């Protein structure tokens, strides 16, 4: 339980708020690069600020304020030039630095362009990496954009998957240090959604949380597993400050504003060794829906189950009304670390986990329960049996709404058809394979239900990229 004041400290992200200013000191993934294959300008709201993201004709990305400083027209209606974005109202043009590059009529009246030279808009740095566009909205100089090792693995199919969630970012991030929810949200709830007599998977026996340079590691041990299980020896990473790393994918929770969050999944699916060498030409990106065609929450896929849980906590969850227990030890540790960080940074300290040295930012490894398999690969039959990676060979269990063209590219990459499952019963390994089985699979031994025999798409239609906000 927290005081209302402390809850505000964690959840308010607008300009000038302690947490908003703190998070702005990190790079955040904000869009898919492939969105700009067929458009050049889109509005975007980040940290409570209305902005436009554009790609100039020369290929440079820019992120600038949405309102034109002339007479407040919406620059989302603007059009791109060689080096910038031009307002559709009277033609003022702005570069990625925010500097005004052209004021057509003013420069006829005043050839010295005095007004233009002193006109600039708010602008933030944008970079492309791993098929995503990343924004840095903090004070200069920007830190390194982390070169996580997973971005550089070979022989895999990556995809960037987005969703806009109507809830505050922090309740999403608390999920990154909440191992117990896996047993209930992704195992038992799923099973009961489809069979109200279904048995429960093995329960958690103990958890452990350790801090390291780039966040926390959580470890867990479930009944019928031994202490050699990689979820106990290695665990998973609560990646500072707003992400989760699971060895084969990342999840970021990027604040749109206090009441909305951009969920970003970046999933790398290793192809079977029989498909090597596989080189992906372009990382696709797509936005998934939250609701099905009947307006019901989608609960079939792993991320969608999380979304329902987080949004269900309330728009900005009221932490004055919690009843915390032993399962929340990691959450308490993470909150305390944030409070300490806010104090330290206010006193002039460097925020946790920033990388400043380019040499230190080469292929940065993170703890992973499946690192060797991700690097070396596995034959198709072994990959299929792998508790963490096998489910992705059978279907994209991550999030509902995968577009058909992405599915087709993915099937080509892995060299087999997917099952087009309608839901995924995600069991703990022990439940699947008997008590002797001991693997990391409490995450994802997915028994896909409804298979290729039912040849309908698994998911509701994908939603278009956000047109406006």
Q: How far apart are CA 417 and CA 426, in angstroms?
A: 20
Residue 92 vs 287, nearer CB to ligand FES:
92
Q: How far apart are CA 235 and CA 207, in angstroms?
A: 10
Query: 306 touches which of Fe ion, ligand FES, none (CB within 5 to 8 A by kind)?
Result: Fe ion
CB 399 within 8 A of CB 392: no
Minimum CB separation of residue 103 from ligand FES in Å reads 8
Backbone φ and ψ for 408, nearest 5 degrees, come out as -65, -40
Among 60, 63, 61, which residue's Cα sits nearest to residue 52?
Answer: 63
CB 234 within 8 A of CB 370: no
Query: 336 touches which of Fe ion, ligand FES, none (CB within 5 to 8 A by kind)?
Result: none
DSSP code of residue 400: S
SS3 343: helix
Residue 81 vs 257, nearer CB to ligand FES:
81
Please give the structure tokens belonging to residue 355.
């990388």
Among 219, 305, 315, which residue's Cα sits nearest to residue 261?
Answer: 315
Query: Which neighbouring-strand residues pair with 177?
Result: none
* Interface with Fe ion in residues 79-138 (CB under 5 A): none
Minimum CB separation of residue 274 from Fe ion in Å reads 31
DSSP code of residue 35: G
Please give the structure tokens belonging to residue 264.
């970003």
Encoded one letter per residue, x for contact with Fe ion by CB under 5 A and - for no contact, window 287-316 reads: -------------------x----------
Query: 457 touches which of Fe ion, ligand FES, none (CB within 5 to 8 A by kind)?
Result: none
Minimum CB separation of residue 153 from ligand FES in Å reads 45
Q: How far apart are CA 316 and CA 312, in angstroms?
A: 10
Query: 68 touches which of ligand FES, Fe ion, none (CB within 5 to 8 A by kind)?
Result: ligand FES
Residue 21 vs 306, nearer CB to Fe ion:
306
Q: How many residues bind Fe ion (CB under 5 A)?
A: 1
Q: How far apart are CA 435 and CA 439, in angstroms?
A: 11
SS3 277: coil
Query: 378 touches which of ligand FES, Fe ion, none (CB within 5 to 8 A by kind)?
Result: none
Minimum CB separation of residue 178 from Fe ion in Å reads 8
Minimum CB separation of residue 110 from ligand FES in Å reads 16
DSSP code of residue 301: S
Q: Which residues contribute to the site for ligand FES (CB under 6 A)?
A: 68, 70-71, 73, 87, 89-92
Q: How far apart are CA 316 and CA 165, in angstroms?
A: 12
Minimum CB separation of residue 118 from ligand FES in Å reads 15
Minimum CB separation of residue 229 from Fe ion in Å reads 19
Residue 70 vs 329, nearer CB to ligand FES:
70
Residue 70 vs 380, nearer CB to ligand FES:
70
Query: 39 touches which of Fe ion, ligand FES, none (CB within 5 to 8 A by kind)?
Result: none
Query: Does 178 sit near Fe ion (CB under 5 A)?
Result: no
Minimum CB separation of residue 87 from ligand FES in Å reads 3
Residue 296 burial by CB count (10 A; 0-12/13-18/19+): exposed, middle or buried? Answer: exposed
Binding site for Fe ion (CB under 5 A): 306
């Amino acid at each position: 339980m927290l005081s209302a004041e402390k809850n505000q400290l964690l959840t308010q992200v607008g300009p000038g708020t302690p947490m908003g200013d703190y998070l702005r000191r990190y790079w955040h993934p904000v869009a898919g690069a492939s969105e700009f294959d067929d458009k050049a300008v889109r509005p975007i709201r980040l940290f409570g600020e209305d902005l436009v993201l554009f790609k100039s004709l020369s290929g440079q990305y820019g992120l600038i304020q949405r309102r034109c400083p002339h007479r407040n027209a919406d620059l989302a209606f603007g059009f791109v030039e060689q080096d910038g974005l031009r307002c559709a109202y009277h033609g003022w043009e702005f570069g990625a630095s925010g500097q005004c590059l052209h004021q057509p009529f003013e420069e006829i009246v005043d050839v010295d362009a005095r007004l233009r030279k002193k006109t600039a808009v708010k602008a933030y740095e944008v970079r492309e990496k791993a098929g995503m566009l990343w924004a840095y909205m903090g004070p200069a100089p920007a830190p390194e954009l982390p070169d996580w090792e997973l971005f550089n693995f070979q022989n895999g199919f990556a995809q960037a998957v987005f969703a806009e969630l109507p809830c505050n970012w922090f309740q999403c991030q608390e999920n990154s240090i909440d191992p117990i929810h896996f047993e209930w949200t992704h195992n038992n709830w799923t099973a009961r959604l489809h069979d109200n007599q279904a048995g429960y998977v093995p329960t958690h026996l103990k958890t452990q949380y350790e801090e390291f340079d780039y966040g926390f590691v959580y470890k867990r041990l479930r009944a019928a597993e031994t202490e050699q299980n990689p979820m106990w020896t290695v665990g998973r990473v609560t990646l500072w400050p707003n992400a989760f790393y699971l060895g084969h994918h990342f999840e970021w929770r990027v604040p749109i504003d206090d009441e909305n969050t951009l969920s970003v999944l970046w999933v790398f699916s290793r192809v079977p060794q029989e498909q090597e060498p596989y080189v992906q030409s372009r990382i696709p990106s797509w936005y998934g829906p939250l609701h099905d065609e009947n307006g019901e929450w989608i609960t079939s896929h792993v991320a969608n189950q999380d979304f329902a849980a987080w949004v269900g906590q309330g728009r900005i969850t009221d932490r004055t009304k919690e009843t915390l227990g032993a399962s929340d030890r990691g959450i308490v540790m993470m909150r305390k670390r944030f409070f300490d960080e806010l104090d330290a940074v206010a006193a002039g300290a460097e925020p946790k986990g920033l990388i400043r040295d380019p040499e230190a930012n080469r292929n940065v490894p993170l703890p992973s329960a499946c690192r060797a398999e991700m690097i070396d690969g596995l034959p198709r039959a072994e990959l299929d049996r792998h508790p963490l990676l096998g489910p992705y060979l059978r279907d994209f269990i991550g999030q509902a709404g995968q577009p058909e063209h992405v599915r087709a590219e993915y099937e080509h990459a892995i060299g087999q058809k997917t099952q087009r499952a309608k839901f995924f019963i995600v069991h703990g390994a022990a439940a699947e394979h008997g008590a002797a089985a001991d693997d990391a699979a409490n995450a994802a031994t997915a028994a896909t239900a409804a298979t290729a025999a039912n040849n309908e798409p698994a998911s509701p239609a994908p939603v278009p990229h956000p047109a406006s906000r």
